[in-house]
Amino acid sequence: MSRTTAPAPDDSRPTTDSPLTHGLKQRHLSMIALGGVIGAGLFVGSGTAIAAAGPSIILAYAISGALVMLVMRMLGEMSAANPASGSFSVHAERAIGPWAGFTAGWAFWFLLCVAVGLEGIGAAGIVHGWLPGVPEWALVAVFMLLFCGTNLAAVKNFGEFEFWFA
């Protein structure tokens, strides 16, 4: 006669009394991804690039897009082979060493900080065209407060904000 035992409890799963919940819906995640991929920089920066380089910018964008696609496929392969909780800096640390992971992580953080500032400047440039009487620096300040406020608020509010902005 075989005796069955109950499986050992999995300590990695959250308990039922955990205050954490899922605040983002699928539509939020889809539009956050779409807005992150396209970004305002593509629309604001494209005009300047086309004015400087002319129609050849289409070729430059195609080559850049192909390189990004290859890099993302490689990152996907590394993530499938060695799943880890973290960003690409974890893969850099595993493959090259701790300094590579450290450098990649902080470079990405710096990139995001610069990107948020550029998004604020781009949004202020667009709105300044609609409201020419308002100084552009004031619009940048308003957008930065808005961006920071929504990021510090509840994740559901952040998801709604990103959904409608995207």
Is 75 inside a domain boundary?
A: no
Domain that holds residue 132: 100-166
Is 117 inside a domain boundary?
A: yes
Is 23 inside a domain boundary?
A: no
Is 142 inside a domain boundary?
A: yes
Query: What is the tally of structural domains in the chain?
Result: 1
Is 60 inside a domain boundary?
A: no
Distance, in Å, from the CA atom of 67 to the CA atom of 62, rounded to the nearest integer, reads 9
Distance, in Å, from the CA atom of 75 to the CA atom of 78, rounded to the nearest integer, reads 5
Is 13 inside a domain boundary?
A: no
Tell me the pLDDT band of 126, cut-offs 50, 70 and 90.
Answer: confident
Is 31 inside a domain boundary?
A: no
Q: Is the pLDDT of residue 14 over 70?
A: no
Q: Which one has a higher pLDDT value, 154 or 3? A: 154
Report the pLDDT value the prediction gives residue 1, as an integer from 0 to 100: 47
Tell me the pLDDT band of 98, cut-offs 50, 70 and 90.
Answer: very high
Q: Which one has a higher pLDDT value, 119 or 103? A: 103
In our burial notation (b when 16+ CB lie closer than 10 A, e otherwise), range 152-166 reads eeeeeebbbbbbeeb
3-state secondary structure of 14: coil
Is 133 inside a domain boundary?
A: yes
* pTM greater than 0.85 (yes/no): no
* H/E stretch holding 111: helix 98-130
Q: What is the mean pLDDT of the chain?
A: 82
